[in-house]
Chains A and B, each alone.
Chain A
Amino acid sequence: MFSAVPDAAPSVFHERNQGTTVQNLGLSHLSVAVGHFYMDELENGEEPIRTQFERVKPWLDAAKASAISGGERPRVSTCFLVDDYFQHWPDAPQIMEKLLRLSREAGVTIDYVARESACARRLDGFQTAELVATRLLEEPFPEGANGGRPPISMSGWMSNGKPPRESRVLETMESHVWEPAHEFGERNHSIYLDVELWDSQGRPGGEDDGELGNRRYSCPFLAAVWQLIRLGLLRQDGQPALKVTDFDGEWRTEWDQCPDIVKVNPSAQPFYAYRSLSILPRTFLPIEHSVQNIINHFLPDPAVVESLDRQAGAKNVPLPPVIADRLSHFFLAGGN
C-alpha cells in the first residue's frame, strides 16, 4: 500500500517553510562557573573575593583535568555571573576591574562575564525568562492527569510533589487531620520541595510594563535560566537566547548598558558547553537544589535536543538525556 506511489518522478515543487531552524553551536565540553558573589560583597573589600578565587583554583584545575570529552582534547571555558538583578549601582567599570584583577592574581582565568539581569530580560528587552517559564510543566498528580490539564505553571511556584495538609474535619469533634507532604517520584521516603519562581513585586529597576514585565524572578529561577543558557538549551528562533559579545575594551558605567555575555578572554574556548560545573560557596546549596527542581520540570525544544545529540554523537561525547545529569557542582567550605 505504501509503496504504491502512483508517480515515482521526483517532485518539482518544493515549499518548506520550517518556522525555526536550530543552529549548531560551537561547544566546549565543560562550562565552569568560577565562584559567585552577591553584589554587596563585590562592592566591599577585596580580601573575601581573593580568598574565594584562591579556593576555586584547585577545583578548576581538577575540572579541566577530568572533563568528559569522549577522547577529544578537552575544551573547557570559565564564566562568572554578575549579580546585578536585585541591586546595582552605576559602578560596573570599578567592579569589573577588581573582579578580573583578583581572579587573575589567584590564577583563575575568567573567559566570559554575564549579567544575571539578562537571564530575566535581555539588553534589547526580550524576556529571556519567559523561554523557561513557558516550558515548565507541572508534575501530574498520581493518577490525576488524563490530558486536559493546562501545561504551564501560572502560580509562580514549582514543587516536586504534594504539600502537607492540615484540616479540621468536623468542628464539633475538634480533631485535626494531618497528611504529610509527598514527593511524587520518591524512593521510599519523600524530600518535598516547593520553589518560588517569581512574585509580582515588580521588575527591579523597571517601570511597570504589564503582567510579565511586572514579575520579579527568584534567584533559583534565574540560576536555572543561567544553567540552561550555558548548556545551549535556551534558544530564540534557533539561535542562543543570550549571545556572546566580544569585549570592546570599555565597561559601561550602568550595568544595564553592558552586553548580556561578554567574552573577556580572546583565546577562550566556546561559552556554550555539553555540561556545566558550578563552583560555589556552600551557602548556595539550597539554591542549586531548587535549580535542579526547576530544570527537572523544564521541557526543552525537541529540535534543540536533537541538534545537541547529533553534535555530541558525531564526536562520541557522552551526553545524558536527563538535563540535570549534565550539571555538576562543587560547594566551597564556608567561614574563613
Chain B
Amino acid sequence: MLHPVNVLTPIALAAACTTTPLRDDVTFNRDIAPIVFAHCAVCHRPGESAPFSLLTYDDVRRRARQIGIVTRQRYMPPWLPDPAVSDFAGVRRLSDDELDRIATWIANGTPEGDPADLPPPPQWTEGWQLGEPDLIVTAPEAFTVPADGVDVFRNLVIPLPVSTTRFVRAVELRPGNPAVVHHAIMQVDRTGSVRRLDTAEPGPGFAGMGMGRSEPPDGHFLGWTPGKLPRPGRDDIAWRLDPGTDLVLQLHMLPTGKPETIRPSIGFFFADRPPARRPFVITLRNDLIDIPAGAEAHVVRDRFTLPVDVEVLGVYPHAHYLGRELKAFATMPGGERAWIIHIPAWNFDWQDEYQFARPLRLPAGATIEIEYTYDNSAGNVRNPSHPPRRVRFGNQSSDEMATLALQVLTETEADRATLAAADERKTSTGLIAYARRHLEDAPDSAIAYELIGTAERTLGRPEQAIAAFQRAVELRPDFVDALINLGNVLGESNRHSEAIAVLRRALTHEPDAPDIHANLGVALGAVGRPEEAMASLRHALQLEPNHVGALYNLGSTLAATGRSAEAVAVLERVIALQPDHIDALNNLGVSLAASGREEAALQAYRRAIEFAPDRVVGHFNLGNGLLAAGNPGDAVRSFRDAVRVDPGHARAHASLGLALRQTGKLASAIDAMMRAAELAPTDAVIHHELGRTLLASRRASEARETLERAVERQPNNVAMRNDLAIAAMLTGDLDAAGRTLEAALALDPDATDTHGNLGLVRAQQDRPGDSITHYRRALEREPDRLACLRGLAWILATSSETRWRDPAEALALAQRAAELTRFGNPAIMDTLAAALAANGDFDRAVQAAEHAATIATRAGNRPLAEIIETRLTSYRKGRPHREP
C-alpha cells in the first residue's frame, strides 16, 4: 500500500536513484560515517601516519571544513591514477557521489542524524597486519630525521639472517614512526654493493634516491605507502631469499618540525614451497632526459616491444618533482591502443605502485610506451630550482627520471628468460647511450666508464667491457667496484692471471671484502693454484662464514684435489644454506662417490635432478654413478635423459654407449658413441671407447681407424695403443700390430697388456722365442693372466721346434688356466688337451678335447669346435698336436 506506483514505475525509480546523493537530509551516521570509515580511518586513527583521528562524529564535525576542501581538491584520500582508464585494486579515490554527499552535509551544518544509522566502527588488527611473521628484522640503528629542511631520502641496509634458502610470500614494513615516512621501497642485494655504500657514509645507511645494485626480488615490488595494507601474497609466485642477501629499505621522509628518530622493522612471511612461476619486472626508462630551463610541457618517451605474451600484475610509474602528467599505454600488434595507466596530475609525494584488479593481458608484439610530460617552469611550485635550470637524468631530487616498472608474469620460465634477455639488452643499450652522453660533458668520468663496462658485460661483449673498466680504473685507481668488475670479466674471459692481479689491487683498497677474496680464490683455482685458491676462499669465509660462493668453490677445489671427505663436509654446508644449489649437489655426489659412499652420491645426484630436471650434469652424474654401481640398465635411462636435455653433450652420448655396451646392446652402443665422436672429433677417450666397442663387435677395420685417431690425440696412452694393436691384428696386419706394441713398450716397458699382446703377435708371426719372452714378462707381473698362461702353454706344448718345447711346464700352465676358468673355457681346455697330449697322456687329452669341443659348440663357436675335432682325431691316434 505504500506508494506502489513509485516502486513499480521505472521512471520514478530512476529518478529516485539519481536524487539519493543529492537529498538534503544527509547525516553523519547514515551517509558520512561509511565514507570516513572506509576511506579515511585507515590512516586517521591513533598510531598511524595521519596527524589526527577520524573515528567519531565529533572528530569529523570539528574538521568538517578542512575535510570539505581537501576532498574536493582530491588531495585526500590520495589517489593519482585516472579511474576511467585502468582498473586497479584498492582504489582510495572518492567517487563524485561521495564528494557531493560530503559537501551537502557540510552545507547543511554537519547534522549527526539517527544513532541507529551509524555503522559499526571499523576494526583494526593491532601489530602485524598479516599475523606473526616467520622472520622479523629491525634496522641495526635508528636514523634521525632533522627537524627542518627538504625531504630526506635514506637507504637502510639490513642483512637478512636466513640460514637456508627461503621463499618469501609477503613482506610487511612497520616504519616505527609512521608520521615521518611518506613512502618506502625495499629491494634486495646479493652483490654487497649496498653494504659498501653503507660503510662509505657515516651514520646508518646511505643518502639519496639511488639504491646501489639492488633489485626488486624476482620481479616483486616491495613498497609501502601510508594507509596501504600489506598484501598477503601468493605462494605460487613467492620470491627466493638466499642466505647472504641484504635488504635495502629506502625511506622517503619529511621533516616534521622536530628531530624524529625512526627504526623500522620488517616482517617476512614464507611460502612452504618454491614458487611455480616467477614474475619479472620490465623497466621502461629514458635516461637521456634533458629538460630546458623554463619548459612548461617537455615530453619524454620510451618504448619496449614484448617478445612474449605477458600478464601485467602491477605498475609503478616514477618521475620526480617536475613530472606533470604521466601516460603509459600499449599498442597491440593490430594497432589498437590500450591504456596501462594515466596520471593526469603527478605528485611525487604520493607515488605508489598499483596492482591491477585483474591482470592485464598483453600479447607478444605489443609495444609498451611511456609519454611523460614535465614542467620545468617557474610556475611549477615544486620545481627544486629557482630560477629553473636545465635538468637531466639523475638520482637526486633536483634531477629527473622517467621510469615505468611493470610487474608481469610469463607463461613459461623459457618465456621469462626471453623477456629478461630483451629487457637486459634494452637497459644495457640505454645505459651505454646515457654514459656516452655523460662523457661528452665529463670526459674523465670514471663512473661513466664503469657503467659502460657493466652494460657491455651484460650485452656479452667482454672485450669492450674490459676496455671500459680499465679506463675507469685508470681515471680512478681506487675505484673498487670497477676493479672488482674488471677482475670478474677478465676471469670470465679466461684471462685469470690478469684477473688475479686486478683483484689483488682491489684488496689493497678493501682488504676485508669477502667477495673479492672469494673471486680471487676462483681465479687462482682456474690457473691451477689450488692451495692459494683455497687460502683465499678460506679468508673470505673468515670474513663471512656463510658465503655460499666461497664455500662452494672451496668444496669443489677440495674435491678436485682429492680431499673428498673434507669436500663432502664443506659442500654439505652449502646445501644446508641453499638446498637447491645444483652444482654443489653434483660435486657433493662426486665427492661422496670418491669417499666410497655410492648410495649417498646417487641421492645427491637425484636431488640435483629434482631441482633442475633440465640440466644435463645431474643426469650424467647419476648415470655414471649407476654404471659404477653395476646397474647399467638404469644408467642407460639416465644417459638417455642427459642427451634428451642436452643433445650436444658428447660425453653423455659416449657414456650412454658404455652403458648400452654393458647391457649387451652393441649396435645401439656403437650408434651412441659414433654420435659422441661426431660431436667431439678430438676427444681421444670417446674414440677409444668407440674403438673398443667396434672391436667387441668384430668390426676390426672401423675399430682400427677409430683407434688410430685416439692414438693420434693421445700418443702416450699405452692402453689405446694396445687396443689399436689388437684391431690391427684382427685386420691381419701383424707388422703394424707389432710396431704399435713396440711403441707402447717404449712408453711403459713393464706393461702386462703390452707384453701379453706382443706374445700373441709374435706367436702369430712365427717368432716363438720372442713370444715366450713376452709371455713370461707378462706372467711375472700377473701370474694368473689367462691369455698369457694359455698362449705360453700352447707354444711350450705344440712348437714345431724342440728347443722351445717344454711339455711339463706347458701342462702346469694349462692346468692352472683351466682351474681358474673352472674347466669351462673351450680355448683353454683345447690348450690343456694339447699339453696332455705333449706329455703322452692321450686318454686325458681326448677327454679334455672332447669337453672343449662340446663347450665350444654350446657357446656357438662352431669354427673352434671343428678345429678341436681335427686335433681330437690326432689324439685318438696317439699323436700330439704340432704347429706347422
Q: Do A and B bind each other?
A: no
